[in-house]
Structure 1
Amino acid sequence: MSTTGRDQAPAAAASDAAAALDAAAFVRLVSDATGAALAATGVLARALDDAGTPFQASVAAPFADPDRTTEADATVALGRPHPAADYALCDRPAAAAFETVRELGASPDATLALAGTVAAGDVDGSVAEAAEQAGLERRPGVAVPVADLADGLAHSTLLSAPFSGTEAQVRAALSDLDLPSELDDDARRRVASLVALAVTGTDTAPPRAAAAVERALRPYAGGPFETVGGYADVLDAVARERPGVGIALALGHESVRDEALDAWRTHGGRAHAAVASATTGRYDGLFVARGDAMPVGTAARLVADFRAPEPVTLVVTDGEAAARAADGRDVAAPMRTAAESVDGTAVGRGERARARFDVSTADFITAFREAV
């Protein structure tokens, strides 16, 4: 939802979206700036390309309205609704896009769809089954996109551990395992155990951290990166840091692989530095982390999953904030109320929301505390 008050396209059933795409001579796809939405966009775009249907795909930043000048027979929003869209696949967008392509009678890219559901933190059973039928298998270890474990663990935003953000600290932790040069399943299990203990063994880790880190363990191997979970992590990073590269990656262009990994390292490094250096405050039901120039969306997820002792997390930097709820409660409504009270703008749905404002961080924190 947005404080702009503009009408939004209603959520679409897969069958309705499929019928519109099947009849369209030109399609426009508008992705939210998340890995799940970007994967969903890629799933639809690849199916349209296979069918010979022209399309345009783009990523819309959280507070940006898509350009509505492009003529299209059908415009589909992925991840969040937009005024320009005729149809919106917002809830579990990668799984919804997967089902939409099936409704078209085509074969969706199961690996990309699976990466999208991992990015969303909710692996879909139908998508996972299709991926396994396509030959993907789970193996022991940790979901990283690169072969170098120190690089992968330092920059992964699927977890937050004391060594996150620093390759040297990861290498020091791995050195105690005496790993072979070629990792076998036993070595991968030892790495996974190290990560699980590092994440959950700190005094600041909430009980939910044990469940949150499961997303990074026992990954599916395959796809354009070392693991599907690593693919998901890269998609989420490029959607936020380099959306043009993200679209190319989602469309399957291997030429952008190195650029995508660079964006992933940049994003992971910024997020972990923000979490480590944030000034925090604890209130009744609310945990606040404040810092400078941080990627608030990713930082809010990491704090909520791995650091926050309260069910609601608010991450704030100059002019921008993000909120996450770990217990499923709605934070979009209080975020909207807080933003309106300081003449700001809010977007979000359900358990996650963001705001933009032009007051001090202290004033916005007060406004959100009063609203929540």
Structure 2
Amino acid sequence: MTEATSATPAPDALAGVLADAPFVRLVATDDGDALAAAGLLARALRATGTPFQARVARDPVPADVDDGVAVAVGVDRGPHAIPGTGRPASTAAFAVARALGVEPDPVVALAGVVAAGSVPGADGSGDALDAAERAGRVERRPGVALPVAGGDGGADAAPSRSEALAASTLALTRYSGDPAGARDALDPLGLPADPDADDRRRFASLVAVDAVDGDDASERAASAAERALRPYATDGPFETVGGYADVLDALAAEAPGTGIALALASDPDPSLRTAALDAWHRHGLAAHRALDDATVGRHDGCVVARVDAPPTVLPTVARLARDFRSPEPVAVALDEGAGRLAALATEPVGLGDACRTAAGEVGGDGWGSPARGGIAVEPDGPGESDVTAALAALREAI
């Protein structure tokens, strides 16, 4: 099925459809922006008394609903969609919820914006940022965007500061994926459990320098790391908006059921928050370690990181490579043994369609949207079922 590239529908139009629907089925792509958007829509439907179902899929196909409405989130598919092309899906969902007469959670919307690769206030998220600031729900401050405060050495079950820094996928440093290395890097700063503004500035300076240090850092590394710096502290379930975004992105791929539950919860209970943090922590460490052990090669138009990693972390590995290591506009994370690859582009280039075409040439499955995609083949399947052949076809297509 081909991806489309139409503009995001007017909020009033989609809100009118949803307001009259006896039942709504939401299906979101497996990324943090779409997950946040689905959560905003689901909460609005719950507030207006409309029955709904929400789920995450790598390639959403909105199924027919008898006497109801199906909405694809994160991809332009079906008669009703919030594609996330041109602006984050979460900003469009925020506007749709308002058009339904509901005041949506602006912190969730802003977390979706950061997960989409943007920053609060940009790409159509000004209304959400204004709402959050007026309600006193966010405050920009020096520091690093982590989901937990995490003073090292405490008895809190949440990850410590060094563990959180090692797992964060908003930045890539020499200690990413290495909690002990992160602790060694932080020790000279002497950060207290409750840091002041100067402490946070020193912390941010360390991460900013380390994100662009090294011969393999790309020119995009400095701008990519900005999402991790000067975060918005929030009263939400996590310490910062950026940390919330990082958790949503990990859950969408690693634990979508937990992700849906988190996106729907206006006040997550401690067990849900702990489950979310655990999944995020495992995912972040695995992605960083996979990239650290990768064999990286540069080709015309893309960089390929050959890894041995769980399929759920491949999109994150590709994103880290794209943002911090790739001089090319497309990054691919390839696991030859598993017959899987994930690809991300810096801007919409028809990547999903390219993955479908390339996969079709080797008898595999391809999926994606204009700026992200994936391919899966059976390593021992019949004929030329080879992910390396699919990669070659993909490189030709892009």
Q: Tell me the TM-score normalized by structure 1.
A: 0.92
Measured after TM superposition, the shift of residue 343 of structure 1 is 2.0
Q: 2:316 maps to what in 1?
A: 298
Alignment of 1:201-240 (within 5 A): 201-222=213-234, 223-240=236-253
Q: Does 1:258 align with 2:274?
A: yes
Check 1:245–1:150 CA distance in 2 against 1; reply closer, same or farther (3 A cut).
Answer: same
Q: Does 1:186 align with 2:198?
A: yes
- Is the Cα–Cα contact under 8 Å of residues 9 and 88 in structure 1 kept in the other structure? no
- Is the Cα–Cα contact under 8 Å of residues 79 and 93 in structure 1 kept in the other structure? yes
Q: 1:75 maps to what in 2?
A: 70
* Segment of structure 1 superposing worse, 340-349 or 107-116: 340-349
Alignment of 1:94-109 (within 5 A): 94-109=90-105
Measured after TM superposition, the shift of residue 237 of structure 1 is 0.9
2:344 paired residue among 319, 324, 338: 324
Unaligned stretches of 5+ residues in structure 2: 120-124, 151-160, 379-384
Q: Deviations over 1:10-59 (max 9, x none)?
A: 95321111001111222221121111111111111111222222221111
Measure, in 1, the Cα distance between the counterparts of 2:72 and 2:352. 19
1:285 paired residue among 287, 301, 314: 301
Measure, in 1, the Cα distance between the counterparts of 2:175 and 2:103. 41
- Is the Cα–Cα contact under 8 Å of residues 142 and 200 in structure 2 kept in the other structure? yes
Matched residue SS, 2:189: coil
Q: Deviations over 1:147-200 (max 9, x none)?
A: 222121111111111101111000000012122342001100111110011110
1:111 paired residue among 101, 107, 115: 107
Check 1:365–1:57 CA distance in 2 against 1; reply closer, same or farther (3 A cut).
Answer: closer
- Is the Cα–Cα contact under 8 Å of residues 34 and 74 in structure 2 kept in the other structure? yes
Measure, in 1, the Cα distance between the counterparts of 2:56 and 2:391. 29
Q: 1:369 maps to what in 2?
A: 395
AA aligned opposite 2:44: A
- Is the Cα–Cα contact under 8 Å of residues 330 and 344 in structure 2 kept in the other structure? yes
Matched residue SS, 1:106: coil
* Greater relative CO, 1 or 2 (CA 8 Å, sep 6+): 1
Measured after TM superposition, the shift of residue 334 of structure 1 is 3.1
AA aligned opposite 1:161: T
Measure, in 1, the Cα distance between the counterparts of 2:69 and 2:28. 14
AA aligned opposite 2:259: G
- Is the Cα–Cα contact under 8 Å of residues 110 and 134 in structure 1 kept in the other structure? no
Check 1:259–1:349 CA distance in 2 against 1; reply closer, same or farther (3 A cut).
Answer: same
Measured after TM superposition, the shift of residue 265 of structure 1 is 0.9
Unaligned stretches of 5+ residues in structure 1: none
Q: Does 1:273 align with 2:289?
A: yes
Matched residue SS, 1:280: strand
Q: Tell me the TM-score normalized by structure 2.
A: 0.86
Residue identity over aligned pairs, in percent, reads: 49
Measure, in 2, the Cα distance between the counterparts of 1:72 and 1:266. 41
Check 1:363–1:34 CA distance in 2 against 1; reply closer, same or farther (3 A cut).
Answer: same
Aligned-residue CA RMSD (Å): 2.2
Measured after TM superposition, the shift of residue 260 of structure 1 is 0.6
Q: 2:127 maps to what in 1?
A: 126
